Structure 1
Amino acid sequence: MAASDEISSHQLSEGAEEIGDPPRVIGHSTNFVGLPTDFLASCDFNAEPCPVHIFGLREMNPKLFEMLGLAGSIAEAGEAFDNYMKAMFGLEPEQQRDPVRIGAAARRYRSSYLDLIRGWAFDSNGAEGAVLKGWVESRFGIFPTYHKEPICRISTGAWTAYIEEKMASRFHNNSIYTQLDLLYEFCQWAAPQLHPGITHLTLFRGINSFAEHRIAQSIDKTHVVMRLNNLVSFSRERDVASCFGDMILSVEVPLQKLVFFNTLLPMHALKGESEYLVVGGDYLVQTSVM
């Protein structure tokens, strides 16, 4: 069936929450990137993005970026990044998964950013997804809007359940947020190498309803401003996105909002779906029906 250029007003409103005027608070007043959160999460930023870096991360890891600069290809850079992370955080399989007895004590399981990506691929609303959304909240200041159910206010049970999962001790060891900081900065180093002269990528997301998405503004029959979750998956391939729903969201994503993408590392759980992990907020979205 050919894609339709229009989505009915009933489809737009079914399950979608109108934010209203003025919109609810989108996040914290402070973050780790030195930009106002409201601006970072806005359509204005998406239209004219500026560089985004996590405070001090590159300065504290100069050897990593020296190694990346010497790499002859993105594949070599990915291997260098993988080796650096293994050395810094003890992520070799025998170190991470097999407890080593020291006297009567067992070494604690070492959390890995790759485990979070695997968990996200299986269920973005699982415990690993909560940790990833918590990292975005911490570093970029943007609140999640959905975790298992819509999160409308911080006083709700949905918010409490999210907080409990994002702070669970299972994944909060081995400097897991620092691992994700390094992953983001590596992504920011690699994206311009792969897309020289390009500021935005056209990405697609398939959905079956608007239950997880808040409509901030309806512009016309095919365009809305949508408040996306603070971390959200897209695909570079429209056909792949159509496998996940009969409604397709198309967005222009600035490179600065890419957290991870399928060609960044040689082996990972998102390889087969051309998947991109993107920092959310308000986006101008083009909608269509398959």
Structure 2
Amino acid sequence: MFDYHYQYSLCSVPAWVLGSREFNADPAPLSVHGVRAAHAHFFKKLDNLSNWEERARIFQDYMEVAFHLHQWREKDNVGKLLSIKHSYLRFLRGWLFDADSVEGAVLKGWVESRMGLPPTYHGGRINGKESNAYLAYLKDRMKGSGRTNAIFSQLDLLYEFVQYELGRRDPDTTHITLFRGVHGFYDHELLEWDAKTGKGVVRLNNLNSFTHDFERAWEFGTFVIEARVPVSKIFFDGAFLHAGILKGEEEVLVIGGIYDISRRII
């Protein structure tokens, strides 16, 4: 069994609460301390925009200015590549290709740093902080964030924007049903399982890919699990950014913890 140790949380809920089944059943809003206050003028501007595409464009523009990403962009291709290298977009795209990549380690590192939930899998099962898998994760995390402009602060604002957009669209919704294609539970800790009903309890990795589309989930595994995910634990939803950023991507990145799941069949 995984040797799990919660850490200090920089959000509004302690890590041991945030990672629990009880939180998922009765969730509370989450916010990284200080982010909304530091960018109050940005969120005030969003309040005055009724069109979500315009809000997404303003978010993209604001990120470039606030974190000086535009300074890396030149007219030649080298400048464009440097701009992406220092941008949150690099890490989202890296995750979409491989969640166990350097970029994936940085995103898992953000969850660990802000939410207090350490990863349980990164290229292998992490059995505590002394394990080789955890040390490999730390190496990837340091390599990915070392020469990037305030990447955790960029991800703070990305998360807060997604949470703002979710609340703006439907303030009464507390949960969203999402689907994840899997090949087994090798990268999750299976805590309970009833083979007859296809229902169980798992500790998900601290960050996980899901989708809104049940049919699409089958493209990524031999079976599909369904979870009722608290809105406050949605880190990223590609549908909320400008169409030109990650066009066609349907992944939803979900903060982990202990979840009730159901195995779905066609």
Distance 1:269 1:80 in 2: 13
**Contact 1:246 1:289 (8 Å CA) reproduced:** no
Pairwise mapping of residues 180-219 of structure 1 onto structure 2 (< 5 A)?
A: 180-219=155-194
**Contact 2:204 2:256 (8 Å CA) reproduced:** yes
* Deviation by residue 1:195-229 (Cα, 9 ceiling, x = unmatched): 34211000000011211111112256311110111
Pairwise mapping of residues 56-135 of structure 1 onto structure 2 (< 5 A)?
A: 56-92=34-70, 94=73, 98=78, 111-135=86-110
Change (3 A) 1:270 1:55: same
**Partner of residue 148, structure 1:** 123
- DSSP 3-state at the match of 2:22: helix
Q: Does 1:55 align with 2:33?
A: yes
**Partner of residue 173, structure 1:** 148
Q: Does 1:285 align with 2:261?
A: yes
Change (3 A) 1:162 1:253: same
Q: Offset of 1:108 from its aligned partner?
A: 9.8
Q: Superposition RMSD on alpha carbons, in Å?
A: 2.3
Pairwise mapping of residues 37-56 of structure 1 onto structure 2 (< 5 A)?
A: 37-56=15-34
Of residues 233, 240, 252 in structure 2, which corresponds to 1:276? 252
Amino acid at match of 2:9: N
Amino acid at match of 2:256: G
TM-score normalised per structure 2: 0.91
Q: Does 1:248 align with 2:224?
A: yes
Q: Offset of 1:171 from its aligned partner?
A: 5.0
Change (3 A) 1:248 1:121: same
Distance 2:29 2:110 in 1: 19
Change (3 A) 1:74 1:168: same
- DSSP 3-state at the match of 2:256: strand
Give the number of the structure whose residues are more often helix, by fraction.
2
- DSSP 3-state at the match of 1:277: strand
**Contact 2:109 2:141 (8 Å CA) reproduced:** yes
TM-score normalised per structure 1: 0.84
Runs of 4+ in 1 over 3 A off after TM superposition: 95-100, 107-110, 169-172, 267-271
Amino acid at match of 2:161: F
Unpaired segments ≥5 residues, structure 1: 1-17, 101-106
The structure showing larger relative contact order (alpha-carbon pairs under 8 Å, at least 6 residues apart) is 1
Change (3 A) 1:209 1:25: closer
Taking every aligned residue pair, what percent have the same amino acid on both sides?
36
Q: Offset of 1:246 from its aligned partner?
A: 2.0
**Contact 2:103 2:144 (8 Å CA) reproduced:** no
**Partner of residue 157, structure 1:** 132
* Larger CA Rg, structure 1 vs 2: 1
* Deviation by residue 1:71-100 (Cα, 9 ceiling, x = unmatched): 122111111111111111122362597469
**Contact 1:90 1:110 (8 Å CA) reproduced:** no
- DSSP 3-state at the match of 1:232: strand
Distance 2:146 2:239 in 1: 25
Change (3 A) 1:95 1:228: farther
- DSSP 3-state at the match of 2:143: coil
Distance 1:84 1:75 in 2: 14
Change (3 A) 1:164 1:74: same
Q: Offset of 1:270 from its aligned partner?
A: 5.0
**Partner of residue 231, structure 1:** 207
Amino acid at match of 1:140: M
